[in-house]
Amino acid sequence: MLTHKKHHPTLEEEMTLFEQGYSFVAGLDEAGRGCLAGPVVASAVILPLQEDTRDVLELFAGVNDSKQLTMPTRERLYDVIMQHAVAVGIGVGSVEIIDERNILQATKYAMRSALEQLSPPAQALLLDALLLPGISLPQRSIIKGDARCLSIAAASIIAKVTRDRMMLELHKSYPEYHFDQHKGYGTPAHLNALRQYGATPQHRRSFSPVRELFGLFPEI
């Protein structure tokens, strides 16, 4: 019987840049690109780098692509990252920006906002399958970066937990949509609520399921 070895993010990409003289390497990732409601949230995380990576890997043990983690584990690791990272930045692309510019541009806006919050500032960037035009820093776009690079995985956790908390707050204003359960993704329950109650100001009208239903609600 074949078994598949479980892979964990490493510091390989970060250390390659560290050895080139970049001490502050930021990993960036986002949460919420595919949702029908709520903002897209991005995070930039700089982890401590040193010649012996074993201590860093031990300190951030368990950090992985946020989609692979349970909610309690994400919450625990969020606290670890916030406490021990060199710097953390969080940026938000609002529903208005998403509808005005499109989701990709809103994601890049959120990432630039996250970078601006970093202190010390980043010297090089590692991104999950994206590049940021207009940023005069060395950048590397890595496919499935949140599963391969520890700093990108850390950013994915910060972005996901931050966005989930925002959706829990939205649930208080719109309980009939159950944002606390699906976090704005297009689940059957969410689509049924859209049909029954219409779109809220937090729904992305540029996204096809909302746009297709939009004509059903002339009052909006």
Give pLDDT tens digits for 109-163: 999 999 999 999 999 999 999 999 999 999 999 999 999 999 999 999 999 999 9
Q: What is the pLDDT of residue 215?
A: 61
Domain segments of the chain as ranges: 12-166
| Number of alpha carbons in the 13 Å side-chain half-sphere of residue 46 | 24
Contact (CB, 8 A) for 152 and 146: yes
Give the pLDDT confidence score for residue 51 in this predicted structure. 72
pTM attached to this predicted model: 0.93
Which residues fall in the annotated binding site for a divalent metal cation?
A: 29-30, 128
Task: Tell me the binding residues.
Answer: 29-30, 128
User: How far apart are alpha carbons 26 and 86 in whole angstroms?
Assistant: 10
Superfamily of domain 12-166: Ribonuclease H-like superfamily/Ribonuclease H (3.30.420.10)
pLDDT at 212 over 90: no
